[in-house]
Chain A
């Protein structure tokens, strides 16, 4: 069965520092992987998705993620954090269905 594990429910960084949010997946077939962001009191919006076209995926707001099959990982990174990046981030996986399986989320705090 497919599943997603997000390591670290809270991550804190200083403005300008590297952002690294971790996601590991379990899937019996090549997965499709997504990162969503949720700003306070809002719904989720897509940051980026991996669908096997390229292992390094670029998303909105300067975020990117790299699919590493050998490590079953899909970590989200941003070179320089901005105050506006403070939000909750969800990794999700989908196999050959229309259902998404979400991780438990990582709340990112950015300090000035």
Chain B
């Protein structure tokens, strides 16, 4: 009954370091998403994947890359972290790419870049 699982839960990086945030879902969903949440700004879409093998940019993709490794997993990579990337990152999944589909969220990764 795991749903969407994100690792790690917390991470502290120094400016310029790289890291990959992992996300896996066990609901056999086709679509997956990465968001960042910043105070007073709600959630903003970074990248999404409508199906295995496809990825598209969202509202704030600069400084990030993604990989849809298989149907279950969708990772987010920061190649050279910057303090502006300090945020809470959420992964979500939905059954299919469609505007009525419910998105299910992971518990988040809290990232600090010093």
Contacts and interface: CB of A to CB of B under 8 A. Distances in A.
Interface of A: 9, 32, 34, 36, 41-46, 49, 51, 90, 94-100, 102-105
B74 interface: no
Interface in B19-47: 31, 40-45
Interface in B93-109: 94, 96-108
Contacts of B90: 43-44
- The prevalent SS among residues of B at the interface is loop
Identify the interface centre among A9, A34, A43: most chain B CB within 10 Å of its CB.
Answer: A43
A98 B98 contact: yes
Contacts of B41: 104
13 contacts: A43-B107, A45-B104, A90-B43, A94-B100, A96-B99, A97-B99, A98-B98, A98-B101, A100-B43, A100-B45, A102-B43, A103-B42, A105-B42
B58 interface: yes
